[in-house]
Amino acid sequence: MRVVSVGGGAGGLLTALLLRRDGHDVTVLERDAEGPPADDEQAWDSWTRKGVSQLRQPHGFIGRTRAVLSEELPEVWDRVLEADTYRVDLRRFAPEQEALVESDRRLQVEVMRRTTFERTLASVVDETPGIDVRRGVAVTGLRADRSENGTPLVSGVHTREHGDVSADLVIDSSGRRTAAPRWLDDVGAPVDEWSESDGFTYHSLWFRTHDGTYPPNIAGFFGGMAPGLIALLFPGDAGVFGVAMVGLGSDKPLRRLRDTAVFTSVASEFTPIAGWVDPDVSAPISQVLPMGAIHNRRLRFWNGDGPSAHGFVNLGDSALSTNPSLGRGIALALVGALELRSVLRTTDDPQRVAVEYDQVKEERLIPWLWDAVESDRGMRHVFATAIGEATDTTVSDRTLMSRASMQDMECWRRWTGVNQAFELPSSCLEDGDLMDRARTIGSGAPPPSYDLTRQELEHLLT
């Protein structure tokens, strides 16, 4: 099959590799012109990727991402690991150390700069025969004819730079800001779109340790907490690490975190990361990078009773994007790519591809969207309570399960499998016995413990 991917970010490139292995001819059209730099430091310092605005935000590569990449694309994963990446073994942070399953290597997260990952991935794709990557090419619309039942049949894309490019299947991998709804509208095809702001702002600052090693990690990704604010720690590669602070977008004092000195003084008060941001140990290597207005969203090419179009599907952030703090975006892009590959192994009929791929997405991907929405509601509630703005006091089963997993080994083991995207959330939330246990333990869980009072936090912020 001639496959065209609109977009050569993580989702588009991983899909290109997976489909090429099955013998498809793949063309990747990527709007950003610059190819992967020669090394990781150049990628960090100067790789211009306007299309991936989160490129320099901290990223973790969760258990499912690691598992799929090492099994399906070892040529990528083995190269990635050469960058001296950092591994967070979640088993070290379980409630009971002696009950650990030593062999469960799934519960490990690899951390590195996203620039390091994407540079390696793009280099491997560039070296792969049968994948034609055209950078500096922006897709502007779909070329479509009417099929017999009136549904548009997509036969390629229009581009600004290369005219029309023909395809048997067009995959929209153009990220959260995809223009696919407009392109489909232009060919008379409605879509089904849903989105809700996650309500948070993210401030990230990057550091490099003076000697290239990392201080002891006492809490995994958890970097500390104050009322209305949580810090996350992302050790990376080459002595670099990121600290992300997450709070409500409506919490105005947090805007002062844009100032590097203010950010660092708050970070130094958080016990898990104080030893990391100590000036004797590390120094900032970036400005504070703020990011807000992030939505949990889904885009389904569905017109109510059938596919919007045939020959056109989406994956990665175009299909669904979820709260970044859960770190599932790349895992879900990979799962989407594997599901699409499975469908293409059974049929190349454009109508069947559209219907069958939509069905597996609804069953196996969209539940992660609702989980992110529920997770965000719980987190917003914790923040709003801390700053006296809470209106709703209902506690969801998800929140109880999450709290219980910090106290109880059984809940921890099962819920960590969900957090790492191996099992769907319903595997826990619809298990009556487990949920009874989680409700009892979760409702008696202690309130969050803070490194600072709100007054102390606001003092540092001003």
Query: What residue number has its CB nearest to ligand FAD?
Result: 51
| Consecutive H or E run containing 58 | none
Give 165 or 435: the residue with its C-beta nearer to ligand FAD.
165
Write out the binding residues for ligand FAD, residues 149-208 only, by CB under 6 A: 173-175, 179, 202
**40-53 b/e (C-beta count within 10 Å ≥ 16 → b):** beebbeebebebbe
Give 203 or 437: the residue with its C-beta nearer to ligand FAD.
203
**What is the rounded distance in angstroms from the CA atom of residue 318 to the CA atom of residue 251?**
29
Task: Tell me which residue of 43, 31, 57, 22 sits closest to 123, measured CA to CA.
Answer: 43
Judge contact between 4 and 167, C-beta under 8 A. yes
Write out the binding residues for ligand FAD, residues 201-260 only, by CB under 6 A: 202
Please, what is the minimum distance in Å from the beta carbon of residue 367 to ligand FAD? 16
**What is the rounded distance in angstroms from the CA atom of residue 271 to the CA atom of residue 266?**
11
The two structure tokens encoding residue 41: 């430091």
Residue 106: burial class (beta carbons within 10 Å; 0-12, 13-18, 19+): middle
**Which listed residue (60, 235, 247, 311) binds ligand FAD by CB under 6 A?**
60
Give 152 or 327: the residue with its C-beta nearer to ligand FAD.
327
**194-210 b/e (C-beta count within 10 Å ≥ 16 → b):** eeeebbbbbbbbbbbbe
Write out the binding residues for ligand FAD, residues 17-36 only, by CB under 6 A: 29-32
Please, what is the minimum distance in Å from the beta carbon of residue 64 to ligand FAD? 9
Q: Is 294 in the site for ligand FAD (CB under 6 A)?
A: yes
Give 88 or 434: the residue with its C-beta nearer to ligand FAD.
88
Give 32 or 408: the residue with its C-beta nearer to ligand FAD.
32
**262-296 b/e (C-beta count within 10 Å ≥ 16 → b):** bbbebbbbbebbbbbbeeebbebeeebbebeebeb
**Which listed residue (35, 51, 188, 378) binds ligand FAD by CB under 6 A?**
51
∠142-365-144 over CA atoms, to 5°?
10
- The window from 53-61, 92-100, 432-440, 451-459 that contacts ligand FAD (CB under 6 A) reads 53-61
What number of chain residues touch ligand FAD (CB under 6 A)? 36
Residues found near ligand FAD in the complex (CB under 6 A): 6-12, 29-32, 51-52, 54, 57, 59-60, 138-139, 173-175, 179, 202, 291, 294, 316-318, 324, 327-331, 333
